[in-house]
Structure formats: structure tokens, C-alpha cells
């Protein structure tokens, strides 16, 4: 019962993270219009949330191993709530970008905190299943950034959406502090904070984690950039959808993205080769994503391609049990943060590149950046995974 209550509270926190990360898809028009941003400027401003995620990964992983998930998640949620409030009240582009950065920083470790609780309070053979189920349960955040947020923006303007998310952040902070037990903490001992932070980077480059870290750099960033930024402009600008109609499609894509990890997590114990399934699924996702810039322009096939990308990249959840198995004793939090760091460094690198490509070649160019990166990263993952540790 303790594990269920703790995971329930942290699923709420992960839902907030999902909501915050994908809000740019529906507030993009309002932000661009009010602050006078170009498409490239919008990509940079909204990429700040992913930069915050990336910056927060290393200290979050160290904190999880040092002080445990309860205190780590509570402090992070306070930062995320402040970031959402600043985004909602921002008088200009720079303050909006700072709010996005703080939001990402605060949300950076909440999913890892949930994984840490699952790793310590549940049997090892259930870890993959629970890791896959959590994104499905937290899919309410993705749903919130679709039709509900679009409806709210239509009534009260784009600032109403991050305001509502900030209110949810206060509730998540209270739940995390009350329901997550003080497990997993340890005394720092003689090791310095700097040496433990360095260990995260060394783990990312280690032989055992090299393959999942490589795929993390291109996999989830591709689907998050699609759902969180470029799918909205594609639906409204390329296909002529209205804001609410586009929000409905984004909501459906959110459902797919939420249920897919649960499916792959359930299949985990029955797969003949976890590595092969993950690699092939990501290659197929790259082909589906490439459809949009190469042949897209029709509503039905384009939406189907988006749904396939969301479904296939849901297999990325299997990187977490791969990471847990490869992590040396006492480094679970840092190993998970190494993989999560790669997720968001990938977004920080690739999303601005996609903005530049959009300036040069329009929306097809932006999506082509992620399709090419996803294909190359998937091939590298399959190669590295075959190498002996």
C-alpha cells in the first residue's frame, strides 16, 4: 500500500511534467503573436524547457541516491511550479524563456523519482512493467495539454494554460511530500558532490550504458518534438485544421503515446530480444516520421504517420530496465539520470536545429531533422548493443 500511494503521488508529478513539456504545441500561436517571435525564435524559446530538463538530470540523479525521492521530488516540484507561474506572467520573450527553463529544471527528476520508488519498493521482475505503466497513467498530462488547454486558451488566452498547470503543481508538491516515504537516502560519506556528478557522465559513456544513451538522444526527443511543438503548426498551417480540431488530434496522439509504453512494458518479460525490438521499432518510427516531409499533405495519412511514430517510440521505456540491469550497485539514480540526460540533451540540440531547418525549408525541413537523426541513432544503437560490455 505504501508503494501504491507513493507511486500515485509521483504519477501525478509526472503528469504535470508531461503537461508542461507539451504545452508549447497549443500556446505557440499566442506566444508568437504577443512576443513577435519567428518560428526559429519560438523553437529556441520553447527548447529552454528541455535545456532545464537536461541541466537538472545530473544533480537530480545524485540527489536521488543521496537524499531519496521524497525530498528530491518535493524541491523539484516547487521549482517547476515557480517556472510555470513565471511563464504565465512573463512580460516578454526572455522572461518566458526563463520560466520555461525553470519549469524544465523542476520537472527534470520526477519520473526518475518514481522509478527509484518502484526499484526499491517493488520486486525486480515487475520493474519493466511498472516503468511502462507510469507513462500511461501520467498520460492525463498529455491530454491536459491537448483539447482542455486549447479550450481554456480560447476562453481566457494563452496565459491561462500555464497558470492552470502552476495550480496543479502546488497540489503535486503537497501530495509528494505527504505520500512518498523517506526511502533510498544515504549519507554522502567521503565522496564529494562534484565526484558524484562526474560519475553520472562517466556512466553515460560506460560500455554498459552506451547503447541506451545513444538511442535516448534521438528517440524520445523525436516524438516529444512532434507532439510538443511541430505537430500543432503542421495540423493548422499545413492541413488547415482549426485550433480545437488540432487539439483533438493532439489529444489522440497523447493517448497513443501514453498507452504504447504500457504495452511495451507488459511485453517486456515475453520478448525474445529486448534490444532488437527497441531498435527495429525506432527504425520503423523514423520511416513513419520521414513520410511527413517526403510525401505528407493529406489529413488521413499524415495523422496515421504521427500515430505510428507515437506508438513505436513508446518502446523507449524498455531502455529503463536495460539501464537498471547495467547499473553498478548503488548507482541506480545516477544511471537513470544518465539516460534521461541524453533524452533532453537530444532535445536541446535537435529542436533548435529543427527551427533553423524550418526557417530554410519550412515545416518539412524541421521534421526531416528528426527523421534523419532517429534513423542514424537507431542504427548506432543496434550496433553498440551487439558489442560486448
| Sequence-separated (6 or more) residues with CB below 8 Å from residue 55 | 101, 104, 105, 108
d(C-alpha 15, C-alpha 36), whole Å: 30
Query: What confidence tier does 130 reach under pLDDT thresholds 50, 70, 90?
Result: confident
pLDDT for position 42: 73
Convert the pLDDT of each residue in 36-77 to its tens digit.
Answer: 777 677 777 777 887 888 788 888 888 887 888 889 999 999
Instruction: Answer whether 258's CB lies under 8 Å from 135's CB.
Output: yes
Answer yes or no: is 191 within a domain.
no
Answer yes or no: is 32 within a domain.
yes
Please tell me which residue, 87 or 326, carries the higher pLDDT value.
87
Does 389 score more than 70 pLDDT? Answer: no
Answer yes or no: is 258 within a domain.
yes
Answer yes or no: is 243 within a domain.
yes
Answer yes or no: is 186 within a domain.
no
CATH of the domain at 22: 1.20.1250.20
d(C-alpha 145, C-alpha 162), whole Å: 10
Answer yes or no: is 187 within a domain.
no
Terminal Cα-to-Cα distance of the chain (whole angstroms): 38
Answer yes or no: is 217 within a domain.
yes
Q: What integer best gives the mean pLDDT of the chain?
A: 84
Q: Which residues constitute the domain of residue 60?
A: 2-178+196-385
d(C-alpha 217, C-alpha 202), whole Å: 16
Please tell me which residue, 327 or 187, carries the higher pLDDT value.
327
Answer yes or no: is 66 within a domain.
yes
Domain count within the chain: 1
pLDDT for position 182: 78
| Sequence-separated (6 or more) residues with CB below 8 Å from residue 323 | 209, 212, 335, 336, 338, 339
| Sequence-separated (6 or more) residues with CB below 8 Å from residue 33 | none
Convert the pLDDT of each residue in 230-253 to its tens digit.
Answer: 898 899 888 989 888 888 898 888
Amino acid at each position: 500500500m505504501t508503494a501504491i500511494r507513493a507511486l500515485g503521488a509521483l504519477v501525478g508529478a509526472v503528469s504535470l511534467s508531461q503537461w508542461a513539456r507539451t504545452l508549447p504545441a497549443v500556446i505557440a500561436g499566442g506566444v508568437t503573436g504577443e512576443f513577435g517571435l519567428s518560428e526559429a525564435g519560438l523553437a529556441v524559446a520553447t527548447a529552454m524547457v528541455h535545456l532545464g530538463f537536461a541541466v537538472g538530470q545530473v544533480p537530480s540523479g545524485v540527489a536521488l541516491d543521496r537524499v531519496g525521492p521524497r525530498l528530491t521530488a518535493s524541491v523539484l516540484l516547487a521549482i517547476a511550479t515557480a517556472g510555470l507561474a513565471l511563464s504565465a506572467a512573463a512580460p516578454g520573450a526572455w522572461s518566458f524563456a526563463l520560466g520555461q527553463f525553470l519549469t524544465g529544471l523542476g520537472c527534470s527528476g520526477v519520473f526518475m523519482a518514481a522509478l527509484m520508488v518502484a526499484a526499491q519498493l517493488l520486486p525486480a521482475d515487475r520493474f519493466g512493467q511498472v516503468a511502462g505503466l507510469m507513462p500511461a497513467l501520467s498520460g492525463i498530462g498529455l491530454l491536459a495539454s491537448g483539447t482542455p488547454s486549447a479550450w481554456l486558451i480560447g476562453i481566457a488566452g494563452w496565459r491561462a494554460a500555464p497558470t492552470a498547470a502552476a495550480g496543479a503543481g502546488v497540489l503535486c508538491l503537497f501530495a509528494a511530500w505527504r505520500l512518498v516515504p523517506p526511502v533510498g537516502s544515504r549519507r554522502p560519506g567521503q565522496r564529494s558532490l562534484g565526484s558524484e556528478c562526474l560519475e553520472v557522465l562517466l556512466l553515460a559513456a560506460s560500455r554498459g550504458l552506451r547503447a541506451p544513451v545513444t538511442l535516448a538522444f534521438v528517440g524520445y526527443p523525436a516524438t516529444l518534438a512532434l507532439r510538443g511543438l511541430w505537430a500543432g503548426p503542421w495540423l493548422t498551417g499545413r492541413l488547415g485544421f482549426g485550433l480545437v480540431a488540432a487539439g483533438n488530434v493532439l489529444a489522440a496522439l497523447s493517448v497513443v503515446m501514453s498507452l504504447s509504453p504500457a504495452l511495451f512494458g507488459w511485453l517486456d518479460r515475453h520478448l525474445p530480444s529486448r534490444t532488437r525490438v527497441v531498435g527495429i521499432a525506432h527504425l520503423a518510427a523514423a520511416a513513419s516520421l520521414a513520410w511527413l516531409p517526403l510525401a505528407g499533405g493529406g489529413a488521413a495519412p499524415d495523422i496515421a504517420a504521427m500515430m505510428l511514430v507515437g506508438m513505436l517510440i513508446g518502446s523507449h521505456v524498455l531502455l529503463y530496465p536495460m539501464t537498471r540491469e547495467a547499473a553498478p550497485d548503488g548507482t541506480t539514480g545516477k544511471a537513470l539520470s544518465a539516460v534521461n540526460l541524453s533524452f533532453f540533451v537530444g532535445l536541446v540540440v535537435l529542436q533548435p536545429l529543427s527551427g533553423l531547418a524550418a526557417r530554410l525549408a519550412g515545416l518539412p525541413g524541421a521534421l526531416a531533422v528528426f527523421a534523419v537523426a532517429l534513423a542514424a541513432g537507431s542504427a548506432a544503437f543496434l550496433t553498440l548493443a551487439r558489442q560486448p560490455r
